[in-house]
């Protein structure tokens, strides 16, 4: 068959995706996945080579940082000489181009003449690349959108080889390795998202398992897939064995599955974040604006109609697409609001199945079959050629013109969040202010001694959202070489350490003087405090005023430096008597007092001892 796009067509389509991405908040860097990935990609990748870091927050096993080594982190590192915002837009361009191209090639490979017409295949590919799932995550967490974009590339070799009449051994091995290379390119930022991206190909193989070619293909595919995942499975097992149970402190299944009604699942708007926050502009529009709700529902109905077999011809491999769609609906429905086993499913997702809690990662199982059905259905629409250009003067007399106009309006509506420049999250920034760099340089200077203790960033904030822009991660994260700590939404440290942080934070939140606070910080190894005054209210922070009031009225704190217009201040912690932080030491258990409570009571214990550090055993 004739390919849908020629070489010239591929070049023009890539340029179109580039223009679309460059139009998204030009010159502004946005909070996409990891701040370090943009600000210091080589430093981030170097640090990711070690499973343990002592730099932040109190020493931790890094949560799948190794997953960024390839391809996400490598892309940003190789292009680190470009402006940060431009590197982000080029990454998004690559992602959208791959999603579009993979869908076009997959549609071409379905049957001797492909699925639908050339025009309908292009429309379907655009709608897959700009699906609600991708538009919701592209600017805010592109590592998840990336796995969706590669789904067609993982599936394509499977479709081709299992559809061939008598492939050779070499062709079978090449197809298996090609699919495995696509799996390798998924990276390992999120293991469940990678699993979800492979699942459509697995379903396709299962539906063709009776063919002898399928087993020969599997003999190559499984080892190649294992090799593609081997580099990250080992570190993941180590993380699961030793990491604190941070999944106990993040979103619950009741939140992540709350919006799993049939309509939302078919629309592709199952990600829970846009329902609670307007940070992701495209996602918030898709779940909240009636025009997008109606358009995405209409698209889902058209896709179902194309798959149903009620059209003149049946879509190639209809049974496979229906099985895939059914698996997707089952995965979403089992914990949905109308499921008879909802309580049991949610209990599982809040327990042993916590990694599977965010079902929206399986969106491709639903959206890809619907896009295939749409391409098949729209293949019946006749596009007026150049010889019929006069028909556009009187569209009411020519049905093809009316149909093409209606499809064009539907596509324009469905993709409006993209061409209206809403793919980016809110609060982009041109650059991190210089006072952050100056403060980090001061702390990194060996002459100031910050490397011998730990620096606490105050006030606490769920995420770093400043009045000059949203970095989500702390701006200091890519700047500091000395150990530091902050009480953010979920510190990846043991619960006991989090309780200790909370006890100190409560003292700062009151704004009242504390005789024991310096001693409590000393016991936690904190020798310096970095107080920032540029957080916004939406960062869920008590603000800097109470912190500064406590520091200036409590003994044991000395302001060492100030940067900007007082935007960042550095205080030295000397204990209640002005002494330096106590060094680690060995004590005899006979000399320890046993009290009821936990690490959060350390400031109160220090107060009971007259503001001096005292050895205790905490229980409870």
Is the domain of 99 the same as that of 172? yes
Number of domains the chain contains: 2
Segment among 183-197, 200-214, 239-253, 254-268 with least mean pLDDT: 239-253
Return the DSSP state at 578: S
Is the domain of 206 the same as that of 290? yes
Decide: helix, strand or coil at residue 239: helix
Is the domain of 458 the same as that of 394? no
Query: 226 is in which domain, residue-wise?
Result: 82-419
Is the domain of 254 the same as that of 371? yes
The yes-or-no verdict on residue 575 having pLDDT over 50 is no
Record the pTM: 0.91
Smallest CA-to-CA distance from 147 within 192, 86, 180 is with 192
**59 occurs within a structural domain:** no
Mean local confidence (pLDDT), 252-277:
93
The yes-or-no verdict on residue 581 having pLDDT over 80 is no
Is the domain of 404 the same as that of 459? no
Is the domain of 287 the same as that of 347? yes
**333 occurs within a structural domain:** yes
Is the domain of 382 the same as that of 442? no
Residue 395's pLDDT is 61
**193 occurs within a structural domain:** yes
Residue 382's pLDDT is 73
Average pLDDT, the chain: 88
Residue 385's pLDDT is 60
Is the domain of 543 the same as that of 399? no
Q: How does pLDDT run across 137-193, given as a tens digit for each residue?
A: 999 999 999 999 999 999 999 999 999 888 999 999 999 999 999 999 999 999 999
- CA dist 206 and 467 (Å) reads 53
Q: How does pLDDT run across 278-314, given as a tens digit for each residue?
A: 899 999 999 999 999 999 999 999 999 999 876 667 8
* Domain C-terminal end among 372, 392, 419: 419
Q: Report DSSP letters for 211-238, one per residue.
A: SHHHHHHHHHHHHHHHHHHHHHHHHHHH
- CA dist 512 and 553 (Å) reads 8
**38 occurs within a structural domain:** no
Q: How does pLDDT run across 528-567, given as a tens digit for each residue?
A: 999 999 999 776 788 899 999 999 999 999 999 999 999 9
Is the domain of 412 the same as that of 453? no
Is the domain of 326 the same as that of 382? yes
The yes-or-no verdict on residue 242 having pLDDT over 90 is no
Is the domain of 208 the same as that of 253? yes
- CA dist 463 and 471 (Å) reads 8
**337 occurs within a structural domain:** yes
**14 occurs within a structural domain:** no
- CA dist 221 and 467 (Å) reads 50
- CA dist 540 and 464 (Å) reads 9
**56 occurs within a structural domain:** no
pLDDT band, very low/low/confident/very high, at 52 (cuts 50, 70, 90)? confident
**108 occurs within a structural domain:** yes
Q: How does pLDDT run across 192-203, given as a tens digit for each residue?
A: 999 999 999 999
Q: How does pLDDT run across 420-440, given as a tens digit for each residue?
A: 999 999 999 999 999 999 999
Instruction: Identify the H or E element spanning 528.
Output: strand 526-532
Residue 371 CB partners (closer than 8 Å, separation 6+)? 103, 124, 125, 127, 128, 131, 303
CA distances from 600 to 60, 498, 503, 585 (A): 20, 8, 4, 21
Residue 78 CB partners (closer than 8 Å, separation 6+)? none
Is the domain of 236 the same as that of 279? yes
């Amino acid at each position: 068959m004739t390919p849908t796009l020629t070489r010239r067509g591929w070049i023009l389509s890539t340029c179109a995706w580039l223009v679309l991405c460059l139009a998204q908040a030009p010159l502004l860097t946005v909070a996409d996945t990891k701040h370090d990935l943009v600000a210091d990609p080589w430093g981030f990748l170097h640090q990711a080579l070690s499973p343990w870091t002592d730099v932040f927050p109190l020493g931790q096993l890094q949560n799948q940082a190794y997953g960024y080594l390839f391809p996400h982190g490598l892309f940003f590192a190789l292009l680190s000489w470009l402006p940060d915002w431009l590197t982000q837009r080029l990454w998004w361009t690559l992602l959208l181009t791959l999603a579009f191209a993979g869908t076009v090639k997959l549609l071409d490979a379905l049957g001797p003449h492909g699925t639908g017409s050339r025009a309908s295949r292009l429309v379907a590919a655009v709608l897959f690349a700009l699906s609600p799932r991708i538009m919701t995550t592209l600017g805010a967490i592109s590592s998840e959108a990336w796995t969706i974009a590669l789904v067609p590339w993982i599936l394509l070799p499977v479709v081709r080889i299992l559809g061939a009449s008598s492939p050779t051994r070499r062709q079978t091995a090449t197809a298996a390795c090609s699919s495995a290379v696509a799996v390798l390119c998924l990276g390992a930022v999120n293991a469940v998202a990678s699993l979800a991206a492979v699942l459509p190909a697995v379903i396709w193989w299962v539906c063709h398992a009776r063919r002898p070619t399928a087993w020969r293909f599997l003999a190559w595919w499984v080892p190649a897939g294992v090799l593609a995942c081997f580099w990250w499975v080992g570190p993941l097992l180590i993380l699961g064995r030793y990491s604190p149970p941070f999944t106990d402190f993040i979103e619950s299944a009741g939140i992540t599955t709350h919006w799993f009604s049939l309509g939302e699942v078919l629309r592709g708007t199952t990600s829970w974040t846009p329902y609670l926050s307007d940070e992701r502009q495209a996602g918030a529009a898709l779940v909240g604006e009636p025009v997008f709700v109606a358009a995405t529902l209409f698209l889902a109905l058209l896709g179902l109609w194309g798959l149903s077999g009620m059209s003149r011809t049946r879509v190639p491999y209809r049974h496979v697409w229906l099985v895939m769609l059914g698996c997707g609906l089952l995965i979403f429905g089992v914990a949905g609001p109308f499921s008879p086993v909802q309580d049991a499913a949610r209990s599982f997702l809040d327990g042993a199945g916590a990694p599977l809690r965010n079902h929206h990662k399986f969106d491709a199982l639903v959206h890809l079959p619907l896009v295939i059905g749409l391409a098949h259905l729209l293949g019946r629409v006749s596009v007026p050629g150049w010889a019929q250009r006069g028909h556009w003067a009187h569209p009411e007399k020519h049905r093809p013109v009316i149909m093409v106009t209606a499809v064009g309006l539907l596509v324009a509506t469905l993709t409006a969040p993209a061409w209206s420049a809403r793919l980016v999250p809110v609060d982009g920034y041109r650059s991190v202010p210089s006072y952050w760099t100056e403060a980090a340089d001061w702390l990194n200077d060996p002459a100031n001694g910050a490397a011998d203790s730990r620096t606490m960033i105050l006030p606490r904030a769920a995420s770093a959202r400043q009045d000059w822009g949203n970095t989500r991660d702390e701006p200091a994260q890519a700047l500091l070489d000395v150990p530091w700590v902050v009480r953010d939404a979920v510190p990846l440290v043991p619960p006991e350490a989090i309780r200790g942080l909370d006890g100190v934070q409560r003292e700062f939140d009151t704004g009242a003087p504390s005789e024991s606070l310096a001693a409590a910080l000393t016991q936690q190894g904190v020798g310096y405090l970095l107080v920032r005054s540029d957080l916004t209210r939406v960062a869920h922070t008590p603000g800097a005023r109470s912190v500064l009031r406590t520091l200036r009225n409590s003994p044991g704190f000395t302001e060492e430096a100030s940067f900007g217009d007082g935007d960042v201040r550095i205080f030295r912690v000397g204990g209640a008597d002005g002494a330096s932080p106590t060094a680690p030491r060995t004590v005899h258990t006979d000399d320890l007092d046993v009290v009821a409570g936990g690490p959060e009571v350390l400031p109160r214990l220090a107060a009971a001892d007259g503001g001096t550090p005292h050895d205790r055993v905490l229980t409870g």
